[in-house]
Amino acid sequence: MGTAVFSASGTGSGPRLAILDGQGQLKKHETLPGPESTLGRSDGDLRFPDDPFMSPVHAQFSLRDGQLYIRDLGSRNGTWLFIQEPYKLQDGDTVLIGSQLLRFRRLGYPGPQPAEADATRRLGSSTPSADIAVLQQLRADGSARDNCHLSPGRNVIVGRSEGDWIFAYDKTMSGRHCEIRSEDLDFIVIDLASRNGIAIAVRGERPVKPGQKLLIGDQTLRVESL
């Protein structure tokens, strides 16, 4: 189906966004002017000239067949969509937890260990089993710092003060922020009622639901209505 024709006179308004402050409170409302609307620091239909974290043209909203979509336009800092329910991680996903950027990578299964020439068995931990994925903590330059390896049957709690992977220095992270749950060969990220939620970097085009929040530059937006 093609993009729907938008008529302000016929509908009364386009998709409505709430602009939130640092405490999550409403600052103001903005109405997107058409079925395809761009956001940016200096270009686009909706502009935030005082936001140094937003690219000149950053992201695009599209309304088609009653569904709103968001697409990142190659911005420097990405476009982030906060999850409302458990999310199955895909290879290459980047997750925002507190102020930490964590990239999910699939490793695949290791090959069988060849027998030693003298039949001596190797000593090593048998639990957990083979790592098949990893979460990489990313620095601002995109390089990896710490890693958390993931294996089938092992759930990982991420938090500021409790869990398997602790970020005691991150005041934006809740004490128990989220769980990375192993389900068969997949890994599901689950918000544990954290204060600041969990966001996934938008790759390609992603649907957005009313009530869902986004982080674009330093702006937290919430879709109010379509």
Residue 106: closest CA among 179, 185, 165: 185
The yes/no answer on whether domain 81-110+128-199 falls in CATH 2.60.200 is yes
Q: What is the structure's pLDDT at 32?
A: 92
Q: What is the structure's pLDDT at 111?
A: 55
Order of strands across the sheet with 133-138? 26-31, 16-20, 219-225, 213-216, 79-82, 198-201, 94-97, 100-106, 133-138, 144-150
Let me know if 71 is exposed, middle or buried by CB neighbors in 10 A (0-12, 13-18, 19+): middle
Task: Indicate the residue type of 193.
Answer: A
Q: What is the structure's pLDDT at 12?
A: 41
What class, spelled out in words, does domain 8-78+202-225 have in CATH? mainly beta
Are the CB atoms for 134 and 150 separated by under 8 Å? Answer: yes
Q: Where are the domains of the chain?
A: 8-78+202-225, 81-110+128-199
Would you call 180 helix, strand, or coil by DSSP?
A: strand
Question: CA 219, 105, 188, 101 torsion: positive or negative?
Answer: negative
Q: What is the structure's pLDDT at 22?
A: 87
Task: Indicate the residue type of 44.
Answer: G
Q: What is the structure's pLDDT at 1?
A: 47
Q: Report the predicted TM-score, pTM, of the whole model to 2 decimal places.
A: 0.85
Q: What is the structure's pLDDT at 13?
A: 63
**Identical topology for domains 8-78+202-225 and 81-110+128-199:** yes
User: Which residue ranges in the chain fall short of pLDDT 50?
Assistant: 1, 3-12
Q: What is the pLDDT of residues 116-147, one digit of tens each?
A: 667 777 766 666 668 999 999 999 888 999 99
Q: What is the structure's pLDDT at 7?
A: 36
Are the CB atoms for 226 and 62 separated by under 8 Å? Answer: no
